[in-house]
């Protein structure tokens, strides 16, 4: 396969070496004359294990060449890969100027070049804000080539890390291919032939957001580790041992648990202990801005769930909430996000009823009783039996937990707040 790579920085140059080593022919295009001259002279423009040897082999086999102008590079090519930089603009967004520039050059070269037998796949590896393929890249191709342009746009995020770029190229944690409707693309299948990794065929936007999700998660992990490390340091606790204990728990800690978007956190432990750790941080001088932000983030989420629950309802509409306790089958209402939701729905003027067979208002005691009544003084009046709930007539049933399984909800509009995924 003939592959043209635009942008010969860390991502593009590494890709050029790796793709050439698989037997494909690679033409690299970069605006930097210095980089292009270095590559053609056998000098790697980046310092990275293995790339210098791979470049020498690629040049010797005639499979790698570089140039500053696109010229006729696309003639006979099946695949173009765009790896130009997307540096931060002054407002924090990505500057997409280089991406727009390269897209225009590719479209103009296709227009000026000979008619093609098959579409050119243009795969973008630069980091894109979701919506860029559809909102920036495609309009550029359409403006220059019109409808039915002989191109297939793919978004294929790059997961390599500097320092282990070649290894990461051949052993990626996953391959994500964003296309129109998630349809597989032949050139990308050929490019990834022999590379073992889970493959995700998704739409453009899901592929585009992947890098942001991953990189932000990695940043959260580092910031969290350092906040816990600082706290340990201030308290004279061994951060090393704490880390060992933490990572040994692959059931709840290092696992998919608690990562699915849905309900807010709550209950008798999480909010209380997060608040107390934030206090320890302030008290000892560890200062824990990430930990401190968690409760604010949770409040923001609770409000968004309320908006979602109430969206489109007529004023004063009759609404049933299935599940009030934090967990189905328990009567612990302390800091249950569902209690907050009920309070917000009542304050917004909806005619609320609550079905939760585990809750008996006359059986609540102690802190549980105090919390429930301070938040929902009307609790006794709001609770309905299964028979009453079964009579229906609700504008919407809000599903908070597994309690809803008791009810026949056929024909009723429901909103499940436990899962946004």
8 A C-beta contact, residue 321 and residue 354: yes
Bridge partners of residue 319, in order along the sequence:
352, 396
Should residue 168 be labelled a site residue for ligand NAD when binding is judged by CB under 6 A? Answer: no
The DSSP line for 43-68 is --SS--TTHHHHHHHHHHTT-EEEES
Active site residue 269: yes
Among 5, 7, 137, 401, binds ligand NAD (CB under 6 A): 7
8 A C-beta contact, residue 364 and residue 336: no
Among 30, 78, 340, 356, binds ligand NAD (CB under 6 A): 30
Among 3, 4, 5, 8, binds ligand NAD (CB under 6 A): 8
Please give the DSSP secondary-structure letter assigned to residue 181.
G
Using the minimum distance from each CB to ligand NAD, give the nearer residue, 6 or 326. Answer: 6
Should residue 162 be labelled a site residue for ligand NAD when binding is judged by CB under 6 A? Answer: yes
8 A C-beta contact, residue 216 and residue 190: no
Please report how close the Cβ of residue 73 comes to ligand NAD at its closest, in angstroms.
11
Closest by CA position to 320, among listed 265, 376, 390: 390
Number of residues that bind ligand NAD (CB under 6 A): 26
Closest by CA position to 4, among listed 34, 23, 30, 28: 28
Among 16, 39, 51, 83, binds ligand NAD (CB under 6 A): 83
Please give the structure tokens belonging to residue 227: 């906040």
Among 21, 86, 103, 368, binds ligand NAD (CB under 6 A): 86
Please report how close the Cβ of residue 27 comes to ligand NAD at its closest, in angstroms.
12
Using the minimum distance from each CB to ligand NAD, give the nearer residue, 169 or 355. Answer: 169
> How far is residue 332's CA from residue 75's CA, in Å, rounded to a whole number?
68
Stretch that binds ligand NAD, among 83-91, 180-188, 266-274, 305-313 (CB under 6 A): 83-91
Place of tokens 């004279």: 236
Among 3, 4, 5, 11, binds ligand NAD (CB under 6 A): 11
Stretch that binds ligand NAD, among 28-36, 195-203, 346-354, 384-392 (CB under 6 A): 28-36
Using the minimum distance from each CB to ligand NAD, give the nearer residue, 168 or 406. Answer: 168
Please report how close the Cβ of residue 271 comes to ligand NAD at its closest, in angstroms.
36
- Closest-CB residue for ligand NAD? 9
Should residue 227 be labelled a site residue for ligand NAD when binding is judged by CB under 6 A? Answer: no
Among 27, 160, 278, 382, binds ligand NAD (CB under 6 A): 160
Should residue 9 be labelled a site residue for ligand NAD when binding is judged by CB under 6 A? Answer: yes
Closest by CA position to 86, among listed 139, 169, 155: 155
Among 29, 81, 107, 264, binds ligand NAD (CB under 6 A): 29
Stretch that binds ligand NAD, among 49-57, 131-139, 155-163, 263-271 (CB under 6 A): 155-163
Closest by CA position to 169, among listed 191, 152, 184: 191
Should residue 85 be labelled a site residue for ligand NAD when binding is judged by CB under 6 A? Answer: yes
Per-residue 3-state assignment (H helix, E strand, C coil) for 226-292: HHHHHHHHHHCCCHHHHHHHHHHCCCCCCCCCCCCCECCCCCCCHHHHHHHHHHHHHHHCCCCHHHH
Please report how close the Cβ of residue 14 comes to ligand NAD at its closest, in angstroms.
8
Helices 270-284 and 204-235, interaxial angle, to 10°? 50
> How far is residue 239's CA from residue 228's CA, in Å, rounded to a whole number?
8
> How far is residue 20's CA from residue 18's CA, in Å, rounded to a whole number?
5
- Active-site residue identified among 17, 18, 83, 269: 269
Bridge partners of residue 175, in order along the sequence:
199
HSE on the CB side for 29, CA within 13 Å?
Answer: 19
| x-or-dash string of contact with ligand NAD, 93-122, rule CB under 6 A | -----x--xx--------------------
CA 14 to chain CA centroid, Å, is 25
Give, as ranges, the residues between 31 and 70 that touch ligand NAD (CB under 6 A). Answer: 31-32, 35
Please give the structure tokens belonging to residue 126: 């630069």
Binding site for ligand NAD (CB under 6 A): 6-12, 29-32, 35, 83-86, 98, 101-102, 125-127, 158, 160-162
Q: Annotated active-site positions, please?
A: 269
């Amino acid at each position: 396969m003939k592959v043209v790579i635009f942008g010969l920085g860390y991502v593009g140059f590494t890709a050029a070496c790796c793709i050439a080593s698989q037997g494909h022919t690679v033409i690299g295009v970069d605006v930097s004359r210095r980089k292009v001259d270095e590559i053609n002279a056998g000098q790697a423009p980046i310092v990275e294990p293995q790339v210098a040897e791979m470049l020498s082999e690629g040049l010797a086999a005639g499979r790698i060449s570089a140039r500053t102008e696109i010229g006729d590079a696309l003639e006979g090519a099946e695949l173009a890969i765009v790896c130009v930089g997307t540096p931060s603009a002054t407002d924090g967004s990505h500057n997409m100027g280089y991406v727009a520039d390269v897209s225009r050059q590719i479209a103009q070269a296709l227009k000026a070049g000979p008619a093609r037998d098959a579409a050119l796949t243009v795969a973008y590896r630069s980091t894109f804000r979701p919506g860029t393929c559809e909102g920036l890249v495609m309009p550029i191709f359409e403006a220059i080539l019109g409808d039915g342009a002989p191109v297939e746009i793919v978004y294929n995020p790059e997961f390599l890390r500097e320092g282990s770029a070649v290894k990461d190229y051949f052993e990626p944690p996953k391959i994500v291919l964003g296309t129109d409707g998630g349809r597989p693309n032949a050139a990308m299948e050929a490019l990834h032939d022999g590379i073992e990794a889970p493959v995700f065929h998704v739409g453009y936007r899901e592929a585009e957001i992947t890098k942001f999700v991953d990189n932000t998660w990695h940043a959260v992990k580092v910031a969290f580790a350092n906040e816990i490390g600082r706290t340990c340091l201030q308290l004279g606790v061994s951060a090393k041992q704490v880390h060992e204990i933490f990572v040994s728990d692959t059931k709840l800690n290092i696992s998919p648990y608690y990562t699915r978007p849905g309900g807010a956190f709550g209950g008798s432990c999480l909010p209380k202990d997060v608040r107390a750790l934030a206090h320890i941080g302030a008290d000892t001088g560890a200062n824990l801005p990430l930990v401190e932000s968690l409760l604010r983030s949770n409040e923001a989420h609770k409000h968004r769930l309320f908006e979602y629950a109430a969206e489109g309802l007529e004023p004063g509409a009759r609404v049933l909430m299935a599940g009030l306790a934090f967990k189905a089958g328990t009567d612990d209402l302390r800091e249950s996000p569902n209690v907050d939701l009920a309070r917000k729905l009542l304050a917004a003027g909806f005619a609320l009823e609550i079905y939760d067979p585990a809750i008996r208002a006359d059986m609540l005691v102690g802190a549980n009783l105090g919390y429930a009544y301070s938040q929902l003084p009307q609790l006794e009046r709001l609770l309905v039996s299964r028979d009453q709930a079964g009579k229906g007539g609700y504008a919407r049933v809000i599903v908070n937990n597994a309690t809803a399984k008791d009810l026949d909800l056929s024909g009723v509009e429901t909103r499940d707040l436990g899962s946004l995924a």
